[in-house]
Amino acid sequence: ILTFNIIVMLYQLTLIDLRRPENVSVDSLNTRYVLRWDWPHETAANQTVTFTAQYLRNEKYWTSVCVNVLEHRCDFTGAIHYKISFLLRVWANTSQQSSGWVQISFCPDEHGELSNKKTHNKKFKIN
């Protein structure tokens, strides 16, 4: 039984030792909201890293917007309402490992940018 418990513990450790995404931020212009992140970490040659991004509204349930995507971005435009605050989060995973979540707060009304005749983006970033 002791050997079995050690094997289970080692298996659980390998599931969560993937590094987290970095430099998570929201690109916001008008009512377009794109969560972006960097992945500067090395992984084994046979491992594909994918990302899952979610949002939380009203402290109830996390809702997935992008699941197991290869890109380092997720478009939340259709999911986010302009006047409500949200928590956004992203994690990395492979077939054998996963990272912890990286979470940021975002309120389009406070952090968003409305365009005038010139096009410009405002990046909202929390480290």
Per-residue pLDDT, 31:
78
Per-residue pLDDT, 86:
87
Number of domains in the chain: 1
Q: Which residues of 4-30 are buried (b: 16+ CB within 10 A; e: fewer)?
A: eeeeeeeeeeeeeebebbeebbbbbee
Q: Average pLDDT of the chain?
A: 79
Q: What is the pLDDT of residues 70-108, one digit of tens each?
A: 999 999 998 877 777 889 999 999 999 999 999 999 887
Per-residue pLDDT, 127:
46
Domain span at residue 47?
A: 2-125
Ramachandran assignment for 58, one of left (phi > 0), alpha (psi -120 to 50 degrees), beta (any other): left
CATH number at residue 11: 2.60.40.10
